[in-house]
Structure 1
Amino acid sequence: MAPARGQSPALRGQWAFGAGRVSLEIVLGASAGGAAATIDLEELLATRLLVQGNSGSGKSHLLRRILEQSAPHVQQIVIDPEGDFVSLADKFQHIVVDANRSEADLDCIAARVRERRVSVVLNLENLEQSLQLRAAAIFLDGLFEAPRAHWYPALVVVDEAQLFAPMASGDVSDEARRVSLTAMVNLMCRGRKRGLAGIIATQRLAKLAKNVAAEASNFLMGRTMLDIDMARAADLLGMERRQAEMFRDLPRGSFVGLGPAIARRAVQIKVGSVETASRGVTPRLMPPPDMSDADSEEILAPAPVSAPRIVERKPPPAPSTTDIFAEIARAEEAAAPDEESATPMLSAEERDHRCRQIVHEMVSDETGSRPEGALYQDFQIRCRIQRLPGALPGLDEFRGWLEDGRAGVTPEEAATEAWRRVVDVARTVPSDLRGVFVLFAHAAMRGEPCPSDLDVARMCGTRSVGRARNRLQQLDRQGAIVLRNTMKGARIAVLPDLGWETLAGDPAAPARDGAVERLAG
């Protein structure tokens, strides 16, 4: 394995031979006796690592040392809540991913990261805490749900892990905590078989969920002040409780390490230097400037009476697209009342048909993933261009037409009595599952094979087959559809409320017409 450009192998890692195996060791720093303290990368990929230390103990410095030393040898994925590790991109080949984007984008990027084996830093600093948890969960799920062919080895570093796997609920919503905790448990418990080796760092063990911390076999414990955290650290390292006091005395940048990838007995390690700098600022002493009597009088002087007070006036918020369209409609009605009254109003069936035609054209032209709000604005613009009379349709109506269009329902099929039955039954299905139900109902109505997992993923706006299967299981549990498997593994979907069923279809078949690739861009 080649060292990084411009670096000797000794600076980036050293090969170790013994016991019939070859491993690569990177140098963390120096042990108490002065010998080099190393960590076995091959063993680390199989056994995971937990880092703990109070704020200012040097956790981020330690993680940066591990990342820099191992960068030439293994793919790295960093979940960075504070933007501290984006500087890795300046010297190494890490790609910085701003998490302030759509869920579909995050899921798609995660899949590409696993496929192309690039090192990335997921920068969460521009999101508030609940959104940080949700974005990290989506990204980790995307890594976890990658196809088996892309299960390459990778280090997944999660800084401030107590935020993403908290022991108890805090200021964030229960939903955000649940999805984030599930993703972290998957990473630490099931990630090894998928090549994902978790490295998690936390300020306090007492705040970290036990089922996440318990999966680590390697430990690096830094300075800790609270009794409960010292006791847990001592237990994890197999030390007696009376020895736990040593964690209070550890200097900044020193850690006690233990584990199959580090050492068989607890060893104190002084972490070595790093090449890149954190964007975080360590407080330094700065004496205040000398003040004269004149300076004091100037600071305490009242504001000049004659000085005009400048008040910054913020411009009014920009009107929404819906407000603009409504204003245009009112202006047209006032300017040409006779012409408007002469325009024949459409019946409900004709209006539905015209709107479905517009949505059908939008779906046919769709070449990438766009947010629902942007699609709705595009729909409103097309309605105005085609001079659709009456009030503009609402978002709920548009959402139903869009789901039908993505399922392949034509405006002519939507006007049939059979599809009206589907619409009636779909009203009893939860809104987040309606699109998948419509997809299967349309296939059954046409007598086509059962849609594949990729077809379902496309309807859900994701590339994750795991999420698609989860939606199917929810529909199956509710009885909206009943899934059956043939002896050869094909799938048949029965729709009891409609009395229909699909033909047998392969769940692993590719998406129809490359829909998933079109959606993911």
Structure 2
Amino acid sequence: MGTQINIGEDSSGQSIDIDLEELLATRLLVQGNSGSGKSHLLRRLLEKCAGLVQQVVIDPEGDFASLADLFGHVVIDGAAYTAREIETLGARVREHRASVVLALDELEVEQQIRCASLFLSALFDAPRDHWYPALVVVDEAQMFAPAAAGEMSDETRRMTLAAMTNLMCRGRKRGLAGIVATQRLAKLAKNVAAEASNFLMGRTFLDIDMQRAADLLGMDRRQADRIRDLQRGQFLGLGPAVSRRPVAVNVGSVRTGGKNVSHGLLPLPNEPGEGMETLLTNKLDEAVSEPEISRSVPTPRPAAELEHALSAAQPAATPIATPLTDVAEHDGRTASGNVEPATASVQDNCPKVLASNDADGAFEIDDVVRELAQGDGSTFRTATSLFRDFAILCRQRGVASAHVDIGHFRRLFACQIGGLHKLEGIAKDVAQEVIATVDEDVLAPYLAMVVATALGEPIPAEEDLAILYGSSSPSRVRRLLDHLERSGLIVIREEFGGERSIIVPHVAERISASEAA
């Protein structure tokens, strides 16, 4: 079966196709001003590859819900579910290989961003057994990966940038092929835009956007004006999945439609001026005295009904071959996993930093983190869900936690489950120095080995390290240990009988030297 899907024709009537297998490996960026035909292009692409590969659409305007009518997509209304339910639905989407549309049009902008971030993170964090090929289409991507801070909170911005960066930078190894569409390249975070190898550039008018689009397409400055002259539904394409040379594309027709209003002229009402004024001011006093109108929240579909819809959704007819065997050295997907870059300050590496705040607040924050760490399966939960519960518990107990961001929280959590509290005095100080530069994604299991060495106890077994790492995969733990050894943090000795022993160098010596001094 071929994997070429037609998206339109060039100026001479020749068919322009996209290689679906190549697209899964190289991702796609679509740019065009409002009204240039981006949504039409995305719809054409989705319709043509429906049934060939799983599709996940992040739809802030609710325009793609009509795909359910002809192609069996499941529409998930983001306003109808809690944050935890959205994460669970994301995991089930990958498990059942369901093609879905996450409709966010009933949410406010920041709620849209948070909902999409949780859903994308759940797709990314799926177990390895569920890493099936899937197209992940994000419309209006500048909302979810903004180049500059806007009105959203810092926490929301960090969350959404992490989710979008994971999708575009690391999603390929998990079978996720990102397709992002934006009105302006200047509004889109560079880390997200830079990972796409295929481009479809529509009409744009600002000089800076035309020049960036021309640079991506390999066009000189004199040719950049060509982008301004494109008509609605015309795009310039380039990339390994589209064409090795820039090619003009007239996007073909589609079978489904959005809910956008008509842009054509409509007759105005024939109501005379006085009559229109009466309509506007009729019972105005009563209207303003009524409670403020709130946005209606749709009734959520029963969980059993939605799960049945996900499991019954039409899967891809034939899996598309994609290189999924190239696995990252360590792909932390839990609170102890690699979700965001580590914070730089040495003081942020463990609960010791809380000593600089008031003592009562420090102990209360420690208590909250300890309570979360002692919860069943806490190490298998995502960092975002744990941090959300942390913030809720702090608010309930009146604990000031504004100084603890998600990166700081992840280190506090890793120090707690890694057993730093078991050490005292010089041993604790040495352990804090040793872990100062260790990334959050490997901190908990490494700290457990440091603590065991400091106490003179055996190194924890691989099964115990796996729990701290948030994984049930023995091979994943072995890759973690190999990574720690290559980083110079541990030494692994292979014995003749096949057993392996682990040594954490210099910890005991540094403790002894400090005590002697």
Q: Say whether the 8 Å CA contact 1:74–1:155 is kept in structure 2.
A: yes
1:456-483 per-position Cα deviation (integer Å, ceiling 9, x unaligned): 9999499xxxxx9996643345798339
Quick check: 1:67 aligned with 2:25? no
Aligned-pair CA distance for 1:436: 2.8
1:54 aligns with 2:38: no
2:380 alignment partner in structure 1: 454
Please give the TM-score of this superposition, normalised by the length of structure 1. Answer: 0.61
Counterpart position of 2:66? 87
Q: 1:172 aligns with which of 148, 152, 175?
A: 152
Paired letter, 1:210 = K
Aligned-partner SS, 2:152: coil
The whole-number CA distance in structure 2 between the counterparts of 1:146 and 1:507 is 20
Q: 2:363 aligns with which of 427, 448, 454?
A: 427
> Residues 72 and 246 of structure 1: is their aligned pair in 2 closer, same or farther, counting only changes over 3 Å?
same
Question: Is structure 2 residue 506 aligned with structure 1 residue 506?
Answer: no
Amino acid in structure 1 at the alignment position of 2:70: K
> For residue 481 of structure 1, what is the aligned residue in structure 2?
419
Q: Give the partner amino acid of 2:419.
A: I
Amino acid at match of 2:380: L
Q: Decide whether the 8 Å contact of 1:437 with 1:480 is kept in 2.
A: no
Corresponding position of 1:263: 243
Query: 1:452·1:507 contact (CA, 8 Å) conserved in 2?
Result: no
Sort the Cα spacing of 1:89 and 1:432 in 2 relative to 1 into closer, same or farther, 3 A: farther
Contact 1:53–1:223 (Cα < 8 Å) also in 2: yes
Find the aligned partners of 2:281 and 2:72 in 1 and give their Cα distance. Answer: 56
Which of 62, 68, 76 pairs up with 1:97? 76
Q: CA deviation at 1:286?
A: 1.7
**1:137 aligns to what SS in structure 2?**
helix
Q: CA deviation digits over 1:179-208, x for unaligned, max 9?
A: 101111110000000000000000001111
1:28 and 2:7 matched: yes
Instruction: Name the counterpart of 1:385.
Output: none
Corresponding residue SS for 2:224: helix
Residues 115-126 of structure 1: matches in 2 within 5 Å?
115-126=95-106
Q: 1:104 Cα shift?
A: 1.1
* 456 and 88 in structure 1: CA distance in 2 versus 1, 3 angstrom threshold: closer
How far apart, in 2, do the equivalents of 1:308 and 1:247 lie? 49
Note if contact 1:49-1:198 (Cα within 8 Å) is conserved in structure 2: yes
Equivalent residue number for residue 217 of structure 2: 237
Return the alpha-carbon distance in structure 2 between the equivalents of residues 458 and 141 of structure 1.
9
* Matching of residue 110 in structure 1 with residue 90 in structure 2: yes
Q: TM-score, normalised by structure 2?
A: 0.62
5 Å-filtered alignment, 1:318-329, equals none
| Greater relative CO (CA pairs within 8 A, separation 6+) | 2
Letter in 1 for 2:464: D
Residues 1:228 and 1:503: Cα distance change in structure 2 (over 3 Å): closer
Query: 1:352 matched to which residue of 2?
Result: none
Q: 1:494 to 1:458 in 2, by over 3 A?
A: farther
Structure 2 stretches lacking a partner, 5+ long: 294-302, 305-359, 389-405, 423-430, 432-441, 469-517
SS of the residue corresponding to residue 214 of structure 2 reads helix
Match of 1:135 in 2: 115
Larger radius of gyration: 1
Task: Give 1:506 shift.
Answer: 2.9
Q: The residue matched to 2:75 in structure 1 has which SS? A: strand
1:213 to partner: Cα distance: 0.4
The Cα of 1:490 is off from its aligned counterpart by 12
Instruction: Quote how far apart the aligned CAs of 1:284 are.
Output: 1.2
- Is 2:362 the partner of 1:436? no
Partners of 1:200 and 1:221 lie apart in 2 by 12
Change beyond 3 A, Cα 1:149–1:493: farther
Aligned twin of 2:17: 38
Correspondence for 1:364: none
8 Å contact kept, 2:418–2:448: no
- Return closer, same or farther for 1:303/1:198 CA change in 2, 3 Å cut-off: closer
Q: Which ranges of structure 1 fall in alignment gaps of 5 or more residues?
A: 2-14, 16-23, 318-366, 369-423, 441-450, 463-467, 511-521
Cα pair 2:120 2:163 within 8 Å, conserved = yes
Contact kept? 1:489, 1:506, Cα under 8 Å: no
The CA deviation at 1:59 is 0.1
Match in the other structure for 1:272: 252
What is the percent sequence identity of the aligned residues? Answer: 53
RMSD: 4.3
Q: Which amino acid aligns with 2:186?
A: A
Contact 1:429 1:480 in 2 (8 A): no
Tell me how far apart the structure 2 counterparts of residues 434 and 129 of structure 1 sit (CA, whole Å): 34
Q: 1:460 to 1:205 in 2, by over 3 A?
A: closer
Question: Which amino acid counterpart does residue 240 of structure 2 have in structure 1?
Answer: P
Length, aligned pairs only: 364
Residues 472 and 266 of structure 1: CA distance in aligned 2, closer, same or farther (over 3 Å): closer
CA contact (8 A) 1:106 1:139 kept: yes
Rounded to whole Å, the distance in 2 between the matches of 1:301 and 1:475 is 63
SS state at 1:127 partner: coil
Evaluate the alpha carbon distance shift between residue 470 and residue 33 of structure 1 in structure 2; reply closer, same or farther with a 3 A threshold: farther
Paired residue secondary structure (2:225): helix
